[in-house]
Amino acid sequence: MMKKYSVDFASVTLWVVVLAIWPVSLPTRLAANTVSSAANSVYDYAEPKLLTGTLYAIGSDRKKILYTFRRTATCSGSRVHVERQFLATNGSVAAVETVLYESNQLVSFEMQDFQARLSGAIHIEPDRENPARQNIFIGYAHGLNPPKGHARTLQPDTVIDDTLYPFMLAHWNDLMRGHTVEFHFVSLDWQRTFEFELVKTGETVQDGQPVVQITMKPASMFIVRLVKPLLFTVQQHGPHRILSYTGRTTPRTQKGKSWKYLDAETVFDYQPE
């Protein structure tokens, strides 16, 4: 059984889904409308002030650290500035993402990969000819100064990495019923969006607490051949925090003289409640 939903956000690259996670739960009725309205009424993007995590090599039993993750948020009036850093094992900043929200609406996103010397940017602006409609500008470049890109109409169901968790929670009840939730995700490389799906794929117990597995995969069979599904492990009860996920992430990995996409196991750290 499949349902479609909408959300007025946009994001990062098709392959990037390291999440910023808010330790709150959504009321059960929020799945009826759009994530933008649901998130706006519930989420404070300035919280948590700090979120950290560790990226491990897949199959290393969480022993081989590749990067660490650090999300910080600051608030100034109606503006929230989010910085998401990926730190190499020597402590240097390998990549950074900055996100700007205005009145709980996404305004801009920028990614800089200092190792691979790549960058991308997203801007959301009203359409000059139709102010009721929003445009998305997606830029991508080899180098650390991406162009603004060309205007495209912002599609419904468009989610960025920093808003994927609210999107997931807004449709939590539907996911638990076995429904497939569709959305759009932006590829900086291709400077466009692609359709993805979220679906519950399992239940188990981890460290004494019930958890569910939620899989994110491309809706297109062509894109499925290019990117493996991402697997999220989420608390079944309580705030439904994402404990970890396995799949494509932001920093690239060096192979010879080239920098390739990186799949890793990302584990998030939480302060005791």
State the burial class of residue 260 (Cβ atoms within 10 Å of its Cβ: 0-12, 13-18, 19+). Answer: exposed
Which residue, among 226, 148, 223, has the nearest Cα to 193 in the 3D structure? 223
Which residue, among 248, 246, 217, 218, has the nearest Cα to 234 in the 3D structure? 246
Within 49-88, strands assigned E span 50-56, 65-76, 79-88
- In the chain, how many domains are there? 1
Pairing outcome for strands 105-113 and 2-4: unpaired
Res 122: pLDDT: 96
Res 115: pLDDT: 97
Supply the range of the domain harboring residue 228.
2-269
Quick check: pTM over 0.95?
A: no
Per-residue pLDDT of the chain (273 residues; tens, 9 = 90+): 444 443 333 333 333 333 433 433 333 222 223 334 444 446 678 888 999 999 999 999 999 999 999 999 999 999 999 999 999 999 999 999 999 999 988 899 999 999 999 999 999 999 999 988 999 999 999 999 999 999 999 988 888 888 888 889 889 999 999 999 999 998 899 999 999 999 999 999 999 999 999 999 999 888 777 788 999 999 999 889 999 999 999 999 999 999 999 999 999 998 765
Q: What are phi and psi of 41, to 5 degrees?
A: -85, -15
CA distances, 37 to each of 28, 33, 116, 236 (Å): 14, 7, 37, 24
- DSSP 3-state assignment of 270? coil
Which residue, among 138, 90, 92, has the nearest Cα to 113 in the 3D structure? 92
Res 266: pLDDT: 97
Lookup: tokens for 272:
């005791």
Instruction: Calculate helix-pair angle for 161-170, 35-42, nearest 10 degrees.
Output: 90
- DSSP 3-state assignment of 157? coil
